[in-house]
Amino acid sequence: MKKMQLKFMMLLGGLLVSTLSAAEYGMNLRKGVTEFSETAFGLHTFTLWICIVIGIIVFGAMIFSIFAHRRSKGAKADQFDHSLTAEVIWTVIPILILVVIAVPATKALIKMENPTTDDGKRLAMDMTIKVTGYQWKWKYDYMDEGISFISSLDRDHDLARQKGSGVDVTTIENYLLEVDNPLVIPVDTNIRFLLTADDVIHAWWVPDFGWKRDAIPGFVNEAWTNVQTPGTYRGQCAELCGKDHGFMPIVVEAVSKEDYAKWVADQKGEQEVEAQMVDTEWTKDQLMAKGEEVYNTQCAACHQATGAGMPPAFPALAGSALVNGDPAAQIDLILNGKPGTAMQAFGNILSETDIAAAITYTRNSFGNTAGDVVQPATVKSMKQ
């Protein structure tokens, strides 16, 4: 019996030690790269230590009692049953401890929610990024630059993560934490984030920034950050949002201000080219090629790469009456979605070209025989 208790204590001790050394193994909270994340880390460490000390005292007293006041050692039971002094002490001391924790916590929270400069003025924000959560991707709008794009799980990761893909995922770097289009931000800039969602609640979380905030459909939440160190920071959606909740990562690249300016210029150029493409006439082959790509990144999560869907939640597109019928009805559905279901309004997400391509692709694949071609211009005209 005694041996067992020793083992038990050793186990507890071991757990304690592993907590303390956890930081070294990268298993503690991350310190992060913003002022706020460092404050949170400090508060975490401080509270953790307080808890450990209280734990040592309480468990210590208990374990001492277990060894010293046992009948097998001939202990006779005392019969005292209360002590006002003791009870007052162990009510008051925890209250004091809690106050000591609450003060820095309050300060930290105020700093996060009500950022001010050193002289008490409200901190000015240098730029605004709107983040919109969709099942299961993020859309980023640079409000000041007019740039916007969709960011979803990298295609290779997406293929590897499928059940029975046969890929050894341990060989993939940053498995599940890689996206096609990362969010690019300049360092040393006060960035305001506006968070919202289109379908269900998501939460935008990059641990190194020190916070997560819910993206709620129909509402906009605000948060801010200021990253000092250039680098790539990874995070994930942190609110259950349906079957692929685990597969909507976030990648943020913090770059120098100069690099950022260059990136912005590139993006603007690309978007202009895109815009011009809408009005050109596309061949079926072009549309099919682009459509396959769009379909696989945007639609396959629900309707499957084979078009078989996952009925009844996600209908099959193969053989669907809608897909094989009047193209106008399908364009309308893709543009406006179907409220109350996971079928989202792609009119705000994809370009006219992408939509036209995806539609053309669905009408000519999976055994569908509509055979026709939907031009970007048609989609554009229906969008108005």
Q: Footprint of ligand HEA on residues 16-55 (CB under 6 A)?
A: 51, 54
Separation between Cα atoms, residue 152 and residue 157, nearest integer Å: 11
Rule CB under 6 A: is residue 303 a binding residue for ligand HEC?
yes
Distance (Å, whole) CA 67 – CA 369: 81
Tokens of 262: 């260059």
Bridge partner list, 196: 132
Q: Does 216 bind other proteins (CB under 8 A)?
A: yes
Least distance from C-beta 327 to ligand HEA, angstroms? 41
Regarding 246 and contact with ligand HEC (CB under 6 A), the answer is no
Q: Which of 183, 299, 373, 374 binds ligand HEC (CB under 6 A)?
A: 299
Residue 210 found at the interface with other proteins (CB under 8 A): yes
Rounded Cα distance, 52 and 12, in Å: 12
Using the contact rule CB under 6 A, the part of the chain among 93-101, 168-176, 229-237, 375-383 near ligand HEA is 93-101
17 binds other proteins per the rule CB under 8 A? no
Which CB sits closer to ligand HEA, 125 or 201? 201
- Annotate 190-210 with b (16+ C-beta within 10 A) or e (fewer): ebbbbbbbbbbebbbbbbbbb
Q: Residues 310, 358: contact at Cβ < 8 Å? A: no
Q: What is the DSSP string of 2-38?
A: HHHHHHHHHHHHHHHHHHHHGGGGT-S----SSHHHH
Q: Which of 97, 125, 201, 377 binds ligand HEA (CB under 6 A)?
A: 97
Look at the block and give the residue holding tokens 């799980």: 153
Give the nearest distance from C-beta 332 to ligand HEC in angstroms. Answer: 10
329 belongs to the binding site for other proteins (CB under 8 A): no
Whole-angstrom distance, CA of residue 73 vs CA of residue 76? 9
Closest-by-Cβ residue to ligand HEA is 94
Cα radius of gyration (the chain): 28
Q: Distances in Å between the alpha carbon of 347 and those of 18, 254, 350?
A: 51, 30, 6
Under the binding rule (CB under 6 A), the answer on residue 60 touching ligand HEA is: no
- Region of 80-88, 97-105, 224-232, 319-327 interacting with ligand HEC (CB under 6 A): 319-327
Task: Report d(CA 190, CA 187) in Å as an integer.
Answer: 9
Q: Which does 94 bind (CB under 5 to 8 A by kind): ligand HEA, ligand HEC, ligand CUA, none?
A: ligand HEA
* 316, 307 Cβ separation under 8 angstroms: yes
Per partner kind, with CB cut-offs from 5 to 8 A, the member of ligand HEA, other proteins, ligand CUA, none near residue 176 is: other proteins
Q: Which of ligand HEC, ligand CUA, other proteins, none does residue 120 bind (CB under 5 to 8 Å by kind)?
A: none
Please check whether residue 174 is in contact with residue 214, taking contact to mean a CB–CB distance below 8 angstroms.
no
**Shortest distance, CB of residue 322 to ligand HEC, whole angstroms?**
4
Residue of the chain from 133, 182, 207, 327 that contacts ligand CUA (CB under 6 A) = 133
Integer CA distances (angstroms), 337 to 195, 343, 355, in order: 21, 5, 12
* Residue selected from 13, 94, 231, 319 as contacting ligand HEA according to rule CB under 6 A: 94
Phi/psi for 323 (5° steps) reads -70, -30
Rule CB under 6 A: which of 124-163 touch ligand HEC? 135
Chain positions 200 to 259 lying near ligand CUA, rule: CB under 6 A, are 202, 237, 239-241, 245, 248
Rounded to the nearest whole angstrom, what is the least distance from the CB of residue 241 to other proteins in the complex?
A: 6
Q: Which listed residue (108, 147, 250, 343) binds ligand HEC by CB under 6 A? A: 343
Distance, in Å, from the CA atom of 34 to the CA atom of 311, rounded to the nearest integer, reads 45
Residue 165: which residues within 8 A CB-CB, separation 6 or more? 159
Residues 9-68 that bind ligand CUA (CB under 6 A): none
Q: Determine, following the binding rule CB under 6 A, whether residue 320 of this chain makes contact with ligand HEC.
A: yes
For residues 132-161, which are near other proteins according to CB under 8 A? 160-161
Q: What is the DSSP secondary structure assignment for residue 223, as one 8-state letter?
A: E
Residues 164-203 that bind ligand CUA (CB under 6 A): 202
Question: Which residues bind to ligand HEC, rule: CB under 6 A?
Answer: 135, 298-299, 301-303, 314-315, 317, 320, 322-323, 330, 333-334, 338, 341-343, 346, 358, 362
